[in-house]
Chain A
């Protein structure tokens, strides 16, 4: 049961750290940043996005079989890691697409530099604090049972249910790593960076907020408030999807992203 990207089909070394990375399709580069549930549930969306773009989909350090550099423990660290990846691959005119935790990474990248980015897609994004100090914006998922969690993050909880007894070892390990990696990055402060909100005005590229309408981990009001802080951002729903629209409605998700990429 290897825990490194050594045996993975595709991998890349960034700053001495080997991570899994999938590349599919051709055309405009699209950096896909997966959500806290890992890269496996994003597979269908990646294939569909690849029909209209050159998709570059890394598995975040600490997730899947990607190595974890010593000391990496914040979304800020990850954003620099991916800025280095963009430099290393010498990509230009990149569309950064992130879901939930991946969208938070995308925002942290974009506030630092959009030199290599042309557009940004933020799906059911976390990363900021909106409400007052005694009101949660984001449900405490670590206080939920598995059933309660599936019920709030999916429009159809069956989409997220997995039979771990039947899955291959690598996938069970990836699920365990995803849970740990998420907490490492998002336990405290919980799924946000208190400093990020005041920096969002720096994102001046066209931005699309995609929002799985039935997300009950985040509210629509949270998504709209987040969207309003980025100057050239607009907000659209994806129906019959919860917190992970790329997984529940991969077709609609890919179509909306590709339409945005082509300037619609």
Chain B
């Protein structure tokens, strides 16, 4: 198993000083550039330490928000590709459906791959609902635009012996010839996120690494949909390395301190949804059918505990988050047991996206969290034997043949829109 350390690089001082919205319309007057600078340097220092401890690194971007200061992920990748040595650098994600210029994306990421000597993982995403007012891209049809951008980027990264032309529905280029060309062949690994059963199957067919966030004990149906898509296309089972899960992690030597840290890290979940209401669901982001259900006041539950209790991760307690597999929290032994138990439930999961810092967790707490995890949990996770991929995939295919997963598919599709696509 690989573990990627992730922080949203929050500007948390504003979390206690806003008028009901941390995103889109929280005025940047609230951002003190000196404080922001100190925070950036701290976060880079912590990632550098994660690299030294043998962890990999994940970073992302959001726009116009105090929840995440990284508004252009290429800057973070640029810094980290130079100051880290061994860590893989995962961007999850790059919201290419919003970008006016995917050629620029191909150039940026190829350069990062070369400077980092082949350490880049490319996660491409649709983006959360709040990104549309900031980018002004039309939320209607964004997935078409996303896939055209993705297809173009792959072609640009894998064409070496000729110039090519692109006159698509959304993008137009001539004489395409990206310098420098990518280090990893044929191109850096592609990752993406989803919470939708339908989309999970498509991702399986494409063979990308699929990540979910906050899906807790509702994750297995997504993974199984991916497995079915993968088996149908590739005639073999996807290994655990095709699956990633974003979990909050708070480790400490004693249980009480760990719970305190867990509560601070959960600040991410609690702050994430603080946004002016109209920006939460732009037109076209959800399907018409899902929007009709919302108009009727029907919102499916999003997160479940292992014993099928519904929780709202925006307001759940630390214990509830642990029970739901959203937060892995406790002593190193507890954290190991929780993660292994969850991976077993998933039928195998090979990439833990570890949110080991969020919100008000201090530098000292963050460093201690990383060190304990890296020294006392990670080695055991690496040694842990994943469930047999062929067995698990065969079960998934067989189960689907017996029953139609309509109900969970619908719930999953809404999950997609509200919390994923980080």
Contacts and interface: CB of A to CB of B under 8 A. Distances in A.
Contacts, number: 64
Interface string B106-139: 0000000000000000000000000001001111
Q: How extensive is the interface on chain A, given as a class?
A: 20 to 34
B405 interface: no
B278 A182 contact: no
Given A142-B133, A173-B288, A188-B136, A183 B295 contact: no
Interface string B278-310: 110011100011011001110000000000000
B292 A176 contact: yes
Contacts of B292: 1, 169, 172-173, 175-176
A30 to B, nearest CB: 30
A187 B288 contact: no
A143 interface: yes
B140 A187 contact: yes
A180 interface: yes
A188 B296 contact: no
A228 interface: no
B399 interface: no
Q: Is the interface of A mostly helix, strand, loop or mixed?
A: helix
Nearest to B291: A176
Nearest to A187: B138
A143 B21 CA distance: 13
A165 B292 CA distance: 10
B133 A164 contact: no
B288 to A, nearest CB: 5
B141 interface: yes
Contacts of B278: 142-145
Given A71-B169, A180-B283, A183-B140, A145 B288 contact: no
11 contacts: A1-B292, A142-B283, A143-B25, A176-B295, A179-B283, A179-B291, A182-B283, A184-B140, A184-B284, A187-B136, A187-B140
Interface of A: 1, 3, 71, 73, 142-145, 164-165, 169, 172-173, 175-177, 179-180, 182-184, 187-188
Interface of B: 25, 133, 136-141, 169, 276-279, 282-284, 288-289, 291-292, 295-297
